[in-house]
Homo-oligomer: A and B are copies of this chain.
Amino acid sequence: MNVRTLCLAILSFGESTGYEIKKQSVDGKFSYFVDASFGSIYPALARLEADGLVTSRQEIQPGKPPRKIYAITDAGQAALVEALSEPPGRDIFRSEFLLIAMCAKSLPQHVVTGAIEARIQAIEEEVEQLRHVVAELDDEAAIWTAQYGVTCKAQALANLRETRADLEKLAGSRLSNTNANAAE
């Protein structure tokens, strides 16, 4: 859950920099079930190093800022295993889209339709991107994880396509004058 464990997990697959860890957890292999920003990753890495769970070396590259390459230590591996061994917290799912869907009756049709279309496009992109990830990964467990994501997302997309008309039919059916004005 917390960023420190996430960094350890990513580093357990090989050396990396703070910049790369951020990219991977936002765009890359891990993007669909974790997230982190620079403001949390860099302090996390610094603290991991202070605790002896990772080491770092500087790589000076001409014309580019030097990279600080982190590697996990044995103690870090052990800490990772320990952290992942305690019963995992519940999966968290937060959806503004479903909040809109739930309130469909109070919302103008174009808002509901717009939200559905945006959601469909977003899932399409996520599936597409996860497929690339699957193709490029080499670790079988990571492939399993990404593949599980592809399957679930693709099904969610299919469900949405199949049932969206039912939701759109309901849109606006509880629209009061007040709302109609506010929706302009």
| SS class, residues of chain A in contact with chain B | helix
Residues in B with CB closer than 8 Å to A63 are none
Residue contact B102 to A176, C-beta cutoff 8 Å: no
- Tell me the smallest distance from the CB of A146 to a CB of chain B, in Å: 9
Q: Is A182 part of the contact surface with B, judged by Cβ < 8 Å? A: yes
Residue contact B33 to A182, C-beta cutoff 8 Å: no
| 9-residue interface stretch from A14-22, A37-45, A48-56, A148-156 | A148-156
CA distance A99 to B147 in the complex (A): 14
Copies of this chain present: 2
Chain B residue nearest to A79 in the complex (CB): B182
Q: Scoring A residues 110 to 149 as 1 if CB is less than 8 Å from chain B, else 0, what string do you get?
A: 0100110011001000000000000000011110110111
For A, the interface residue count at a CB cutoff of 8 angstroms equals: 72
CA distance A79 to B6 in the complex (A): 38
Residue contact A183 to B95, C-beta cutoff 8 Å: no
User: Which A-B residue pairs are the 6 nearest by beta carbons?
Assistant: A78-B182, A88-B96, A104-B141, A33-B95, A92-B94, A33-B98
Residues of A within 8 A of B (CB): 1, 5-6, 9, 12, 30, 32-35, 74, 77-82, 84-85, 87-108, 111, 114-115, 118-119, 122, 139-142, 144-145, 147-149, 151-152, 155-156, 159-160, 163, 166-167, 170, 176, 178-179, 181-183
